C-alpha cells in the first residue's frame, strides 16, 4: 500500500482547502449523505453516548451523526465549512423536531474553547482535511479529558478508498498531500493521537445499495462533489477511461447478482478516549 505520509514545508494548505470546499459544495452531497445515516447511529452507540453530554459533530455534512446524537437527547452542535450542507442538516433536524445548534466552522480551526465537549464526532468528514495533524489537534483540544472522539473513516483497501485511488490516476492530488485513507489505518491513528489518548478501532462495512451500477455512477457523477469535479477536470477521452475504471471497480465490489448494486465498503469505526 503506497500512501503519502510526508508533508513538504511548501504545501499550500489554504489553497487546497479552498478547492476542497468548492468540490464539497458542488453537486448535492446530501442526496448521497442521507443514505449513510446508519453509520452515524452506529458511531453514537460505539461512544456510548449519553443524554447529559455536550456533543460536537465536525465536518458534519448534512448531519448524520448530528441527528443520531440529537435523537439520543444530547446537547449537539453541528459544524461544517460548507453552508449548504449545514442547511440540509438543519432541514432534517427541523423535520424531526430535534434541537441542534448549527455553526459554520473549519475542522482545522474550531471556534470553541478547550475542553468544551464530552464527545466529538465525525463521519467521513475530518478524514478529508488537508492537514491531518492540525485537524487531530483541534479534535483533541475541544474534547474534555476523559471524553471521547468518535470517527468513521474509509479504509484504503475498501471500495471508497479504492475509488479515490482510481480518481487520483486521472486527477492527481497536490504534491505532498497526505491521503485521506490514512485515517482508515490503525497505525496512522495511533501515531496521530499519540500516547495521551487510547485508540480503539473496529472494522465495519457500509453497503452502497443502488438500482444498478449505472444508477450509482449517475448519482455520484451528478451529486458527489469529488467525482463531479474529477470528470469536469479531464478531457472526454480521459472521462471515458475513468468511467470504465469506475465500472470495473463497481463490478469488483458488487455482491448483488440480480442487476442491482450492493457494494460493501470497509470503514474503521474509531473511538479515541482522551486521557485525563
pLDDT per residue as tens digits for the range 72-120: 999 999 999 999 999 999 999 999 999 999 999 999 999 999 999 999 9
pLDDT at 268: 98
What is the total count of domains within the chain? Answer: 1
Q: Which parts of the chain have pLDDT scores under 70?
A: 1-9
* CATH number (domain holding residue 129): 3.40.50.150
Indicate whether 182 belongs to any domain.
yes
Indicate whether 44 belongs to any domain.
yes
Indicate whether 230 belongs to any domain.
no
Indicate whether 126 belongs to any domain.
yes
pLDDT at 25: 79
pLDDT at 5: 45
Place of cell 447529559: 52
pLDDT at 136: 97
pLDDT at 111: 98
pLDDT at 99: 97
Indicate whether 236 belongs to any domain.
no
Indicate whether 160 belongs to any domain.
yes
Instruction: Provide the domain limits for residue 62.
Output: 28-207+266-274
Indicate whether 80 belongs to any domain.
yes
Indicate whether 10 belongs to any domain.
no
Instruction: Return phi, psi of residue 72, to 5°.
Output: -95, 15
Amino acid at each position: 500500500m503506497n500512501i503519502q505520509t510526508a508533508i513538504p514545508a511548501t504545501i499550500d494548505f489554504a489553497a487546497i482547502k479552498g478547492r476542497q470546499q468548492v468540490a464539497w459544495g458542488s453537486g448535492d452531497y446530501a442526496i448521497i449523505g442521507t443514505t449513510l445515516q446508519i453509520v452515524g447511529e452506529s458511531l453514537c452507540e460505539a461512544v456510548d453516548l449519553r443524554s447529559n453530554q455536550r456533543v460536537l459533530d465536525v465536518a458534519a455534512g448534512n448531519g448524520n451523526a448530528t441527528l443520531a446524537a440529537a435523537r439520543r437527547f444530547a446537547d449537539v452542535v453541528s459544524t461544517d465549512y460548507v453552508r449548504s450542507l449545514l442547511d440540509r442538516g438543519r432541514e432534517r433536524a427541523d423535520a424531526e423536531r430535534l434541537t441542534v445548534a448549527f455553526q459554520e466552522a473549519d475542522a482545522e480551526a474550531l471556534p470553541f474553547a478547550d475542553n468544551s465537549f464530552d464527545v466529538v464526532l465525525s463521519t467521513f468528514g475530518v478524514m478529508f482535511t488537508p492537514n491531518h495533524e492540525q485537524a487531530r489537534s483541534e479534535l483533541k483540544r475541544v474534547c474534555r479529558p476523559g471524553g471521547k472522539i468518535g470517527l468513521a473513516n474509509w479504509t484504503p483497501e475498501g471500495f471508497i478508498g479504492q475509488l479515490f485511488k482510481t480518481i487520483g490516476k486521472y486527477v492527481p492530488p497536490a504534491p505532498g498531500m497526505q491521503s485521506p485513507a490514512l485515517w482508515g489505518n490503525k497505525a496512522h491513528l495511533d501515531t496521530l493521537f499519540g500516547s495521551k489518548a487510547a485508540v480503539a478501532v473496529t472494522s465495519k462495512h457500509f453497503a452502497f445499495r443502488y438500482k444498478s451500477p449505472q444508477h450509482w455512477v449517475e448519482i455520484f457523477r451528478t451529486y458527489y462533489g469529488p467525482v463531479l469535479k474529477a470528470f469536469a477536470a479531464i478531457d472526454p477521452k480521459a472521462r471515458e477511461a475513468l468511467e470504465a475504471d469506475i465500472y470495473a471497480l463497481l463490478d469488483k465490489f458488487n455482491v448483488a447478482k440480480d442487476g442491482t448494486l450492493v457494494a460493501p465498503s470497509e470503514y474503521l469505526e474509531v473511538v479515541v478516549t482522551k486521557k485525563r
